[in-house]
């Protein structure tokens, strides 16, 4: 499916690829694009066969930031705040794994969108920044919240207070991305990981993602209690019973979800 802002297609029986498609604007995140991402994630969440979603831009940019012409509308009262807030919430609510395959610019809202992914694969061409301060602004979709939890206070302060950009190697060194690959290999590596996930139990993938995210949102004691509850629930699932039996019987498991 090709729209004015996205190219969405099934690239396997278990994986949906969502490609940001505003090349004339370096894939800047306007409201139409954000709402479309949220909509397609909701649809993928409902499809039982889908295990994973891959987010990708193009060779020049993952996403160069928010659409500044829309931000200008905040003072006029015409800014689509409700739509944008709902779209970001839809992205955050997606239960299944998201892999971001990143080439080129991931600035501002683009960096924030990447941080909403669970696994970030960046090529050597990737660059990251939270440059809002250079426009007299600040991040509005996680750049001052997710970034410190990923890279620590020192690196987050440096990026947010100076607007400086960092290359992919630096992003790997500070823990912003999961893996660094050669140019043109970000999407192939994302595909490789999505195929690996396709053989996993969907309920186990969802439980793992949920538990890890809670570790950032809750105190450790409460998060540990939630983890234990999820573990006990998952251990009673049909997939866990099949996985344990397959291990003991030395065969490949056949998961139902």
Which of 38, 65, 104, 109 is an active site residue? Answer: 109
Per the annotation, the verdict on 66 as an active-site residue is yes
Per the annotation, the verdict on 112 as an active-site residue is yes
Which of 25, 70, 87, 112 is an active site residue? Answer: 112
| Residues 194, 12 contacting (CB under 8 angstroms) | yes
Per the annotation, the verdict on 109 as an active-site residue is yes
Per the annotation, the verdict on 249 as an active-site residue is no
Nearest to 216 by CA among 149, 152, 132, 133: 149
Nearest to 66 by CA among 164, 135, 151: 135
4-9, long-range: CB < 8 A, 24+ apart:
4/32, 5/30, 5/32, 5/33, 5/36, 6/33, 6/36, 6/37, 6/40, 8/40
Nearest to 202 by CA among 58, 50, 100, 91: 50
Q: Which residues, other chains included, contact 100 with Cβ-Cβ below 8 Å and sequence gap of 6+?
A: 54, 55, 56, 62, 113, 114, 117, 119, 120, 121, 190
Which of 25, 28, 63, 66 is an active site residue? Answer: 66
Nearest to 161 by CA among 204, 132, 202, 198: 132
Catalytic machinery residues: 66, 109, 112, 132
């Amino acid at each position: 499916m090709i729209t004015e802002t996205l190219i969405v297609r099934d690239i396997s029986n278990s994986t949906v690829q969502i490609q940001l498609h505003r090349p004339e604007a370096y894939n800047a995140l306007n409201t139409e694009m954000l709402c479309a991402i949220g909509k397609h994630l909701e649809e993928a969440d409902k499809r039982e066969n889908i295990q994973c979603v891959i987010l990708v831009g193009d060779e020049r940019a993952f996403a160069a930031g928010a659409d500044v012409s829309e931000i200008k509308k905040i003072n006029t009262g015409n800014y689509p705040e409700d739509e944008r807030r709902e779209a970001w919430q839809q992205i955050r609510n997606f239960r299944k794994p998201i892999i971001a395959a990143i080439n080129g610019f991931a600035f501002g809202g683009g960096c924030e969108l990447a941080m909403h992914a669970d696994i970030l694969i960046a090529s050597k061409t990737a660059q990251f920044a939270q440059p809002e301060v250079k426009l007299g602004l600040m991040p509005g979709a996680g750049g001052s919240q997710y970034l410190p939890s990923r890279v620590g206070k020192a690196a987050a302060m440096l990026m947010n207070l100076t607007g400086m950009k960092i290359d992919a190697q630096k992003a790997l060194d500070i823990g912003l991305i999961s893996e660094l690959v050669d140019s043109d290999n970000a999407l192939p590596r994302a595909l490789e990981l999505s195929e690996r996930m396709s053989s996993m139990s969907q309920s186990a993938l969802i439980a793992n993602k949920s538990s890890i995210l809670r570790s950032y949102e809750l105190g450790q004691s409460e998060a540990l209690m939630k983890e234990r509850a999820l573990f006990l629930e998952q251990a009673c699932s049909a997939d866990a019973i099949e996985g344990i039996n397959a291990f003991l019987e030395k065969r490949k498991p056949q998961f139902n979800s």
